[in-house]
A = this chain, B = another copy of it.
Amino acid sequence: MAVVEISIIPIGTPSAGVSNYVAGCLKQLESEEEIKYELTPMGTIIEGELEKIFKVVRKMHEYPFNKGIERVVTNIRIDDRRDKDLTMNSKVTSVKNKI
């Protein structure tokens, strides 16, 4: 299991507000059954099997193009650990326990 953060930026939008597009990208996650996600002020964090995450990230990245946008810059950051199960919860708890 991996924890992945994704941030999608549509370029050439009519205004500086892009939450419409972000909301549409997020909706692509709703129908996914085997992944968990969390919206943060800077992106969306997804937890699940890397293969499934890649597929849904692909769909999220495509969304703004379907809405007429001609350029999209997408940032994907993968944290993948194999010696133990990495979850969104375990990552935050592990840090908080040490403060």
Q: What is the interface of chain A, defined by CB distance below 8 A to chain B? A: 3, 5, 7, 9, 11-20, 22-23, 26-27, 38-43, 45, 47, 50, 54, 58, 61, 65, 69-83, 87-89, 91-92, 94-99
Contact = CB atoms under 8 A, between A and B. Distances in A.
Given A73-B9, A75-B77, A94 B17 contact: yes
Residue among A11, A65, A76 with most chain B CB within 10 A: A11
Contact of A41 (B58, B91, B98): B91
A5 B42 contact: yes
A41 B81 CA distance: 13
A63 to B, nearest CB: 12
Given A7-B77, A45-B42, A83 B98 contact: no
